[in-house]
Copies of this chain bind each other. A is one copy, B any other.
């Protein structure tokens, strides 16, 4: 049976602390003002899920965490860099309930701070001395940009295939989860079939996390998620719950027209969007999206049967289940 949530963080505490120290060191700039803002972002970071996945994937094949720490710090900084640019792109004012860098600095400075964090993450990846690790790292950066460009250029259509959506969220989120477990296994010297299984585990967990994120954007109250509910809708980004909701609407109905107007940015009135959010909440799209996330998690769990160490398997399972704890 899997352990409780606190356990995986407790068991990996000392390694996660080492990762944090490395992240802070890499994020420190020469200029006190900018440095303070960058360290703020890094410190208000989330749960360090990506470093955790990298460390756990490595843990199954080595007891020496030293070479894993730099790579784990690298994936966290890559994630942070992409959030910084993302907030600037979305002109977001809040993230995790705190003002974004974007709301405190000019666009130019935000672009540069994001670039600086990308550079630091690449330096950490290169410091592993493994050409394969760096290739995975660079490929993921490419996937992330591709996912975000896809979101910007193609997400604003109600009519899109489930495949379009999955391709987009793979690039945007799951790719870095997959890269994290892959890098951990590569650095720890796992066999190729184990590396591939862990990479796919990471990717599936990432897909589940993003689907749950997209769900939370609809189901949670603004005060709980630290940004306005229906934020994706406001940005015109079509996510899985919205796609499923749209599929079941009577053709030509008022609801269809409202939805189109919101997604196309013609209807921006807060009350109308709140109404739409409430309607989606009451639809079957919520349960169906949750089911899709569960399928990815189940698939992820099946993939790691290959991992020899039972405790590591349990810890990886715990991380996979974390996606759903945010829903309760």
Contact = CB atoms under 8 A, between A and B. Distances in A.
Given A126-B134, A134-B126, A134-B134, A149 B89 contact: no
A135 B119 CA distance: 11
Interface stretch (A103-111, A210-218, A252-260, A309-317): A103-111
Interface stretch (A16-24, A29-37, A46-54, A185-193): A29-37
Given A34-B149, A107-B89, A111-B111, A142 B116 contact: yes
A146 to B, nearest CB: 7
A90 interface: yes
Interface string A188-207: 00000000000000000000
A117 to B, nearest CB: 9
Give this chain's copy count.
2
Interface in A212-247: none
A97 interface: no
B152 A108 contact: yes
Interface SS of chain A: helix
A4 interface: no
A153 interface: yes
A282 interface: no
Interface of A: 29-31, 33-34, 82, 85, 88-90, 107-109, 111-116, 118-120, 122-123, 125-131, 134-135, 137-139, 141-142, 144-146, 148-150, 152-154
